[in-house]
Structure 1
Amino acid sequence: MHPEFRSGKTYYHLNINSNNKTRKGKHLQKEISEIKAIKNNEYTGWLFDLETASGTFSAGIGLTWIHNSPRRGSTFVTKKITEALVKIKNGAQDKLYLGNLEARRDWGYAKDYVYGMWLMLQQETPDDYVLATGETHSVREFVETAAKLLGMDIAWEGEGINEKGIDKNTGQTIIEIDPKYFRPAEVELLLGDPTKAKTKLGWEPKVKFEELVKIMLDAELEKEKK
């Protein structure tokens, strides 16, 4: 938590760290020496400048785990999967190329996480919180769940980079592995512990994994209609 005085008023930053640094986004470019900390937290990310319309400021420090929604960028695997499978279903794309199918991630719904951020800002005393679902699913599971919701039935054949995903309903190979999508230093598991947020904020994710996949698919289906 970092206070700074502007026009005689104290305001606060909500420091939202990412487990995957992108170094993107609007941020307050201040040297650490210019900011006086009121709570001793290691600075590991950007400082985001949040201000309410009334000029009243409040804050919490949060690590928001991997949150998804239809607004997710196409370079992220969840959006890449839903976008591609809908196009394949509609005949607009032949195949989806992926990397590590076994990577496991703690995927949650962005709206749930934003509500958690709001709850942080309602607390009288700033504290550290982790917003996460507390469960992981693999890239393979995401593909299979999305395919099933679209009426596809994936059968896997081969191993390693030669593995393929075939839609049993059509016999079409729709998933292939491309080594270029493997990360040089792959993190196999990313999992958050939201216990503190649940006990102190009363927060917990409402949207479960399959519902999240459906929300993202429905948005792609609507987009394809336009």
Structure 2
Amino acid sequence: MKKALICGVSGQDGAYLAQLLLDKGYQVFGGSRDAQMASFRNLEKLGIRKDVSLVSININDFRSVLQTLQKIKPYEVYNLAGQSSVGLSFEQPVETLESISVGTLNLLEAIRFSGLPIKLYNAGSSECFGDTGSAPADEETPFRPRSPYGVAKAAAFWQVANYREAYQLFASTGILFNHESPLRPERFVTKKIVAAACRIAKGSQENLKLGNIDIARDWGWAPDYVEAMWLMLQQSQPDDYLIATGHTCKLKDFIRVVFECVNLNWEDHVVTDASFFRPTDIAEGHANPRKAKEKLGWEAQHKMEHVARLMVDDQLASM
């Protein structure tokens, strides 16, 4: 039985990845900074908490990482840990950089030091690209990040590339564009929109306050994307892959679809609040996921409209 360690198992991607690996017959270890105190709400929601072996690991502490790897001896390690909000990274830039960049470096160095034949997946981000205008980014597009989060993810990406070349580690980065699900917390704008629309449909008199609704993103479905993570570690050679749907929509289009799902006109309920604008932001995000399709055989199964409807259905069912 293959062993996999998921660092950041309590998040959206970690929970769906744990579910995928369990379905494939893996023994799954879920890493969290304090496994005894964390809630693991997402694992509970998916009904798999009892099936995941929970371990305490602080990836910012090299000794903690090394001891965990030597004890578990995993076949695959998935690095999904670290501060995950772009907006919050402007308020907590140091914590963001340390949790993403230092944590990734500790994992790489611990794998190298241990000598164990571990395959590492690193969670990259489309935020590394910055604003590419209407040109779709691919694996060769230069990085010009416009947020502390993007800077941290770019640093982690190059750390992985360096260790892969210098020490022949099997280490791959998935450069994932936006991917959503019901497991998103409300600090993410997609879940904020869905939750508010459903409350309003149930009789709430609130207005939904948002920042720039003219931004455009490539939105996918998180369960699709964790399959791509797994596929990267099944290849004969490590490499980096861009994961996206290839379809970009404006945030106002996502809002429209969500409100249509609950039979409301979004323009009657949404107001723009300048306090939600970021110091710098990406106007448009476009992606070319051709390499993933050609080499991994992976293709997104859900586009934005379907993602919005799935999130609304889940939200209404939980109310």
TM-score range, shorter chain: 0.7 to 0.9
Corresponding residue for residue 9 of structure 1: 116
Verify: 1:18 aligned to 2:128, yes or no: no
CA distance in 2, matches of 1:38, 1:212: 35
Report the CA distance between 1:36 and its aligned residue.
7.2
Q: 1:185 & 1:36 partners in 2: Cα distance?
A: 29
> 1:141 — aligned with what?
253
CA deviation map 1:62-85 (0-9, x unaligned): 111111111112111111100000
2:318 aligned partner: 223
Structure having greater relative contact order (Cα 8 Å, sep ≥ 6)? 1
4+ residue segments displaced more than 6 Å: none
Q: State the secondary structure of the residue aligned to 1:219.
A: helix
Q: Which position in structure 1 is the counterpart of 2:231?
A: 119
What code does the residue aligned with 1:14 have? Y
2:163 maps to 1:37: yes
TM-score (norm 1): 0.73
Instruction: Please state how far the C-alpha of 1:199 moved relative to its aligned partner.
Output: 0.8
Q: Distance in 1 between matches of 2:186 and 2:249?
A: 19
Cα 1:38/1:99, change in 2 over 3 Å: closer
CA-to-partner distance for each residue in 1:96-154, whole Å, 9 max, x for gaps?
01111110011100001001111111101111100011111111101111111111134
Higher mean alpha-carbon deviation, 14-23 vs 81-90, is at 14-23
CA distance in 2: counterparts of 1:221 and 1:208, whole angstroms: 20
Are the counterparts in 1 of residues 219 and 303 from structure 2 also a CA contact under 8 Å? no
What amino acid maps onto 2:273 in structure 1?
A: D
CA 1:59–1:86: 2 relative to 1, 3 Å: same
Shift of 1:182: 1.2
Percent identical pairs in the alignment equals: 37
Q: How does 1:157-176 map to 2 (within 5 A)?
A: 165-166=267-268, 174-176=269-271
| In 1, Cα distance between equivalents of 2:162 and 2:290 | 29
For residue 112 of structure 2, give the secondary structure of its aligned residue in structure 1.
Answer: strand
**CA shift at 1:10, angstroms?**
2.8
Structure 2: gaps spanning 5 or more residues: 1-103, 128-147, 151-158
* Whole-angstrom distance in 2 between the partners of 1:36 and 1:98: 40
**C-alpha root-mean-square deviation of aligned residues, in Å?**
2.5
Q: In structure 1, give the amino acid aligned to 2:227.
A: Y
Corresponding residue number in structure 2 for 1:201: 296
Report the 3-state secondary structure (helix = DSSP H, G, I; strand = E; otherwise coil) of the residue aligned with 1:60.
strand
Q: Secondary structure at the match of 1:113?
A: helix
Measure, in 2, the Cα distance between the counterparts of 1:78 and 1:111.
16
Alpha-carbon distance between aligned partners in 1 of 2:248 and 2:162, rounded to the nearest angstrom: 37
Structure with the higher fraction of residues in helix conformation: 2
Question: 1:100 — aligned with what?
Answer: 212
Q: 1:193 to 1:212 in 2, by over 3 A?
A: same
Aligned to 1:70: 182
Q: Unaligned regions of 5+ residues in structure 1, if any?
A: 24-31, 41-56, 155-164, 167-173
SS of equivalent residue, structure 1 residue 97:
strand
The change in CA–CA distance for 1:38 and 1:98 in structure 2 (over 3 A counts) is closer
TM-score, structure 2 normalization: 0.52
Q: Whose radius of gyration is greater, 1 or 2?
A: 1
Q: Is the 8 A contact 1:59 1:120 kept in 2?
A: no
Aligned to 1:4, the other structure's residue is in SS state helix
- Note if contact 1:60-1:127 (Cα within 8 Å) is conserved in structure 2: yes
Q: Which residue of 2 aligns with 1:171?
A: none
Q: SS in structure 2 opposite 1:189?
A: coil
- The match for 2:47 is none
TM-superposed deviation, 1:93: 4.5
